[in-house]
């Protein structure tokens, strides 16, 4: 059902679905609770009606939440699959974390530090590893996060759909410089990317921060 | 009332410090825990508050990044191992559970006291870690390989957690045996009050899950001291193995923390509503269901760890299964209020706050359980907010509710109700201001355990700081009010709330031996028919 949407849109729709239902449930519980406390205050209702349970009601509020929970699980899983299904034509970039910097390696032998530069209109596959302790590669704008584990390569991907600059954070606590382990993703035009690979610096034109 | 006064209360039965340190009375052991755990709670609260102040503005305010890291580690270790895990079971489980089942004491009174000494020894080790090589800076999760490489004192702190685990296992074992063997003759399993049921379910988790953290922390110590290459990838070890072992205990530990809190709420609500609890068997069943299913969901903390997608599928599915029994409990509590005859009191007000905050904690847990949304909010402020809604809004609020509920029974005195309402409400309002912005910050992408942040996260952190200050005022008022009640409070009647479980059939405070003769047991434990008159 999600086919026409990008992975980011799918994740966001799952957020809306779960949070939307949650807010409705929360409001329902809270209103019922406050209403009962006022309506059945002992001054208004001096004698309680002793009700020990109701099998039908209890089955109902076991089955319905179970179905809702399963639907949430399902949407969460379906949208997760697209986060994990890396397109074959994706541009591969090596990501290496080391206290407290991000290093990026490109196919042409180019390397960069704390600045991930990619061309617009391409799927980007990240091969992530770490040189020391655990780190976490987090790109909020594209809803992806993957731990960087020493001696192991993990993957994540995103589709660079729009030129701009985005934050990359480290999410697995890694020591004194953890919160400063901050990099930028720069999505640039194909031409700028080619020129940058050859060693030219990027023009300072586009900086529509997300 | 006067008639019952003849029996000397457990507080007056002996005096002097040695009569406390050598006691085998479950009620006195409970008070030993109460004072120690309350002290730890206040220390850890102050540590948490200092983190909040540090984060109020971008950049360095009060402390260096290294200090910040040590402070959040200690905040977590103390809150979890020294307050949340023992608080309700070791204090109220100890005091109230034997009374609710008509027992004279726990089954192993000396083991009970020994567990308290282990608890104090664990606390001592945690304190010692402050004075050797600097306090640990690993977070309460001790993730490898960082915890193996850092120069700070990880060994002392993990030893502390190891000893505390020991204490927790022995307490659980004791309670299981007590509930099986010392119930008054006429009390069948389905006459057991819900708080005792929750303690029973919790105790099984304590006994079965805690040994895993013991082994894991020993392995960390071995790895640090001898470098044998279990977890350190540079020596051929596997850091993801550590995470599995850690969460195999630490996720069930979350249920060790929340189940007794649910038990407290299940006691207070029917008493306040003068009405039978709605769905007694469903609540008992959901406690056991949570204890069982909660042991199978540990790897939902690890979707981004690099484990397989198949594992993500399985653990996400199981996580949604375990959500259902918690929802059932909330519905049952609210349904209990329907057609009740409700009398407001401080324990009940806190129970209402609990239901609201715990519901938010549970519902945001669904966001974390779903695979794709978890990827975005994992390890962000969203998780911190969710966790505090369950742990603080849930367990700590239930803890305060339990203190308000059973304080008259324990000490034979009342506290001032007006100040109790004021303090709790300030705490509640402050809590909401503190933790709501953190959900937003997490959704915006602010990671957790951050000493500093980019400017767009400044507003949320500032508002959260205001909430933190409000909470501190509330906590101060609550503690002050209870302390005053303890010293100068009015004498409490035997049954101030009109409860029907067995602890209310005893004088306040109860005599050392609790029951002189086997108490009468109701066929249904929440039978308020006789209490109609009011």
Ramachandran bin of A109, using left for φ above 0, alpha for ψ from -120 to 50, beta for the remaining angles: left
Report pLDDT for A210: 44
Q: Which residue has the tokens 């008259």?
A: B408
Partner B contacted by A43 (CB < 8 A): no
Chain B nearest-CA distance from A194, in A, is 30
Radius of gyration of chain A measured on its C-alpha atoms: 25
Residues A111 and A77 in one domain: no
Q: Does residue A71 form part of some domain?
A: yes
Shortest CB distance from A179 goes to which of B305, B330, B452? B452
Q: Is the CB of B359 less than 8 angstroms away from the CB of A179? A: no
Determine the angle formed by the axes of helices A55-84 and B346-369, rounding to 10 degrees: 40
Q: Are residues A135 and A106 in the same domain?
A: yes
All residues of chain B having their beta carbon less than 8 Å from the beta carbon of residue A176 are 65-66, 69, 137
Domain end point (choices A60, A84, A108): A84
pLDDT for the residue B530: 65
Q: Is residue A118 part of a domain?
A: yes
In a domain, A74, yes or no: yes
Q: ∠ CA(B198), CA(B39), CA(B261), 5° rounding?
A: 15
- Whether residue B509 has a cis bond before it, omega within 30° of 0: yes
Minimal CA–CA distance to B449: which of B438, B463, B465, B440?
B438
Same structural domain, A187 and A98: yes
Average pLDDT of span B192-199: 98
**Which whole-number Å values give the CA distances from B182 to B107, B208, B224, in the listed order?**
7, 22, 45
Same domain flag for A140 and A192: yes
A14 near B CB under 8 A:
yes
CATH number for position A140: 2.60.40.420
Q: What number is the average pLDDT over the span B191-197? A: 98
The pair of structure tokens assigned to B44 is: 């850890």
Would the pLDDT of B532 be above 70? no
Which three-class secondary structure state does DSSP give residue B210? helix
A110-120 pLDDT tens trace: 999 999 999 99
Minimum CA–CA partner of B445 in chain A: A140
CA distance A99 to chain B (A): 11
Q: What pLDDT is stored for residue B396 in this prediction?
A: 98
Q: What are phi and psi of B184, to 5 degrees?
A: -60, 145
CATH number, domain of A63, equals 1.10.287.90
Q: What is the pLDDT of residues B375-405, one digit of tens each?
A: 999 999 999 999 999 999 999 999 999 999 9
Q: How many domains does chain A divide into?
A: 2
How far apart, in Å, are the Cα atoms of B60 and each of B48, B67, B453?
Answer: 16, 11, 10
Domain B4-533 has CATH 1.10.287.3510: no
Last residue in a domain, options A26, A59, A84: A84
- Statement: residue B371 has pLDDT above 50: yes
Query: The domain containing residue A41 runs over which residues?
Result: 7-84
- Of the candidate ranges A163-172, B40-49, B394-403, B512-521, the one whose mean pLDDT is the lowest: B512-521
Query: Nearest CA to CA, how far is B317 from chain A (Å)?
Result: 6
Which of B240, B277, B532 lies at the smallest CB-CB distance from A47?
Answer: B532
Residue A101 in contact with partner chain B when CB distance is under 8 A: no
Structural domain ending residue among the three candidates A84, A100, A127: A84
Among partner residues B279, B352, B529, which is closest to A37 by beta-carbon distance? B352
What would the pLDDT profile of B250-284 be if each residue is shown by its tens digit?
Answer: 999 999 999 999 999 999 999 999 999 999 999 99
Looking at the domain assignment, is residue A107 inside a domain? Answer: yes
| Among B105, B287, B329, residue whose Cα is nearest residue B196 | B287
- Which of B 245-304 lie inside 8 A of A, CB atoms? 273-282, 304
pLDDT digits (tens, 9 = 90+) for B306-359: 999 999 999 999 999 999 999 999 999 999 999 999 999 999 999 999 999 999
Distance from the A9 Cα atom to the nearest Cα atom in chain B, whole angstroms: 11
- Percentage of chain B beyond pLDDT 70 is 98
Q: How far is A158 from chain B, CA to nearest CA, in Å?
A: 13
DSSP, residue by residue, A159-200: EE-S-EEEEEEE-S--STTGGG--EEEEEE-HHHHHHHHTTP
Chain A residue with minimal CA distance to B383? A171
Cβ neighbours of B379 in A, within 8 Å: 136, 138, 145, 171-172
* Same domain for A162 and A118: yes
B residues 227-256 closer than 8 Å to A (CB): 233-234, 239-240
Contact present, B175 and B89 (Cβ < 8 Å): yes
- The pLDDT value recorded for residue A1 is 45
In chain B, which residues have their Cβ closer than 8 Å to the Cβ of A158?
Answer: none
- Chain B CB contacts of A172 below 8 Å: 143, 379
- A95 and A79 in a single domain? The answer is no
A105: which residues sit within 8 A by CB, 6+ positions away? A93, A94, A95, A96, A111
Q: pLDDT tens-digit profile of B91-113?
A: 999 999 999 999 999 999 999 99
- Put simply, whether B65 touches A (Cβ < 8 Å) is yes
Does residue A76 sit in the same domain as residue A136? no
Q: Is residue A128 one of the residues assigned to a domain?
A: yes
Query: Is the Cα dihedral A174, A177, A178, A182 positive or negative?
Result: negative
Residue A13 placed within a domain: yes
Residue B451, chain A, CB below 8 Å: the answer is yes
Chain B contact for A176, CB < 8 A?
A: yes
Q: How many CA atoms lie within 13 A of B378 on its CB side?
A: 26
Among the listed residues B278, B259, B409, the one whose alpha carbon sits nearest the alpha carbon of residue B332: B278
**Could you report the predicted ipTM of this complex, rounded to two decimals?**
0.94
Residues 6+ apart with CB under 8 A from B220: B142, B144, B147, B148, B154, B158, B231, B242
pLDDT one-digit tens code per residue, B458-511? 999 999 999 999 999 999 999 999 999 999 999 999 999 999 999 999 999 999
The reply to whether A17 and A55 lie within a common domain is: yes
Task: With CB atoms and an 8 Å threshold, state whether B339 touches A45.
Answer: yes
Nearest residue of chain B to residue A13 (CA atoms): B373
Instruction: Confirm whether A205 is domain-assigned.
Output: no
Q: Identify the segments of chain A with pLDDT beneath 70.
A: 1-3, 203-210
Return the pLDDT at A207.
45
> Is residue A203 situated within a structural domain?
no
DSSP string of B176-207? HHHHHH-S-TT--GGGS-HHHHHHHHHHHHHH
Predicted pLDDT at A203: 66
Are residues A171 and A110 part of one domain? Answer: yes
Residues A80 and A161 in one domain: no
Alpha-carbon separation of residue A55 from A50, B275, B365 (angstroms): 15, 18, 27
How sure is the predictor about B219, in pLDDT bands with cuts at 50, 70 and 90? very high
Nearest CA in chain A to B451: A179
Contact B372 A76 (CB under 8 A): yes
B92-113 CB burial, b ≥16 within 10 A, e <16: bbbbbbbbbbbbbbbbbbeebb
Residues of B (72-131) whose Cβ lies below 8 Å from A: none
């Amino acid at each position: 059902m999600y086919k026409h949407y990008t992975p980011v849109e799918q994740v966001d729709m799952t957020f809306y679905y779960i949070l939307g239902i949650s807010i409705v449930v929360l409001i329902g519980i809270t209103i019922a609770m406050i209403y009962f406390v006022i309506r059945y205050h002992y001054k208004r209702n001096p004698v309680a009606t002793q009700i020990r349970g109701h099998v039908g009601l209890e089955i109902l509020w076991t089955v319905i939440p179970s179905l809702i929970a399963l639907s949430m699980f399902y949407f969460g899983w379906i949208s997760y699959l697209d986060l994990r299904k890396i397109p074959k034509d994706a541009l591969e970039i090596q990501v290496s974390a080391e206290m407290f910097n991000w290093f990026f390696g490109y196919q042409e032998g180019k390397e960069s530090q704390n600045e991930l530069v990619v061309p617009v209109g391409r799927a980007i596959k990240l091969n992530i590893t770490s040189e020391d302790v655990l780190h976490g590669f987090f790109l909020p704008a594209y809803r992806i996060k993957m731990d960087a584990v020493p001696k192991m390569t993990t993957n994540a991907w995103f589709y660079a759909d729009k030129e701009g600059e985005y934050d990359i954070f480290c999410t697995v606590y890694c020591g004194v410089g953890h919160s400063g382990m901050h990099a930028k993703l720069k999505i640039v035009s194909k031409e700028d990317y080619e020129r940058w690979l050859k060693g030219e610096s990027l023009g300072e034109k586009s900086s529509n921060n997300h | 009332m006067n008639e019952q006064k003849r029996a000397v209360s457990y507080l007056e039965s002996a005096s002097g410090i040695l009569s406390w340190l050598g006691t085998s009375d479950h009620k006195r052991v409970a008070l030993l825990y109460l004072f120690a755990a309350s002290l730890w709670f206040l220390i850890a609260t102050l540590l948490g508050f200092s983190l909040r102040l540090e984060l109020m503005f971008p950049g360095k305010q009060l402390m260096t990044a290294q200090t910040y890291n040590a402070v959040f580690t200690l905040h977590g270790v103390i809150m979890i191992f020294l307050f949340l895990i023992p608080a309700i079971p070791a204090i109220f489980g100890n005091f109230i559970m034997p009374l609710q089942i008509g027992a004279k004491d726990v089954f192993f009174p000396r083991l009970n006291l020994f567990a308290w000494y282990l608890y104090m020894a664990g606390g001592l080790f945690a304190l010692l870690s402050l004075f050797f090589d600097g306090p640990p800076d690993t977070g309460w999760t001790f993730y490898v390989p960082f915890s193996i490489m850092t120069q700070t004192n990880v060994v002392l702190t993990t030893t502390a957690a190891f000893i505390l685990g020991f204490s927790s296992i022995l307490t659980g074992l004791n309670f299981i045996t007590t509930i099986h063997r010392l119930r008054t003759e006429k009390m069948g399993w389905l006459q057991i009050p819900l708080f005792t049921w929750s303690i029973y379910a919790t105790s099984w988790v304590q006994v079965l899950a805690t040994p895993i953290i013991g082994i894991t922390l020993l392995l960390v110590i071995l790895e640090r001291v001898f470098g044998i290459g279990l977890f350190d990838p540079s020596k051929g070890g596997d850091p993801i193995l550590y995470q599995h072992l850690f969460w195999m205990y630490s996720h069930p530990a979350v249920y060790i923390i929340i189940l007794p809190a649910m038990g407290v709420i299940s006691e207070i609500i029917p008493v306040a509503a003068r009405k039978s609890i709605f769905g007694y068997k469903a609540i008992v069943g959901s406690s056991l269901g949570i204890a069982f299913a909660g042991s199978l969901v540990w790897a939902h903390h690890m979707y981004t760890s690099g484990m397989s997608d198949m594992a993500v599928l399985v653990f996400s599915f199981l996580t949604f299964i375990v959500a259902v029994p918690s929802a059932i409990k909330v519905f049952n509590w609210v349904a209990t209020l329907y057609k009740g005859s409700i009398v407001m009191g401080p324990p009940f007000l806190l129970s209402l706050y609990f239901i609201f905050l715990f519901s938010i904690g549970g519902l945001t847990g669904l966001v974390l359980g779903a695979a794709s949304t978890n990827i975005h909010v994992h390890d962000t402020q969203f998780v911190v907010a969710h966790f505090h809604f369950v742990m603080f809004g849930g367990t700590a609020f239930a803890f305060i509710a339990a203190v308000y509920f059973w304080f008259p029974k324990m000490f034979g005195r009342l506290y001032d109700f007006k100040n109790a309402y004021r303090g709790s409400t300030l705490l509640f309002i402050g809590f909401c201001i503190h933790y709501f912005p953190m959900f937003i910050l997490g959704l915006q992408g602010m990671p957790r355990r951050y000493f500093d942040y980019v400017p767009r996260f400044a507003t949320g952190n500032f508002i959260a700081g205001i909430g933190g200050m409000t909470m501190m005022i509330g906590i101060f008022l609550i503690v002050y009010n209870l302390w005053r009640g303890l010293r100068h409070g009015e004498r409490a009647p035997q049954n101030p709330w009109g409860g029907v479980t067995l602890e209310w059939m005893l004088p306040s405070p109860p005599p050392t031996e609790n029951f002189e003769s086997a108490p009468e047991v109701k066929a249904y434990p929440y039978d308020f028919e006789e209490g109609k008159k009011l």
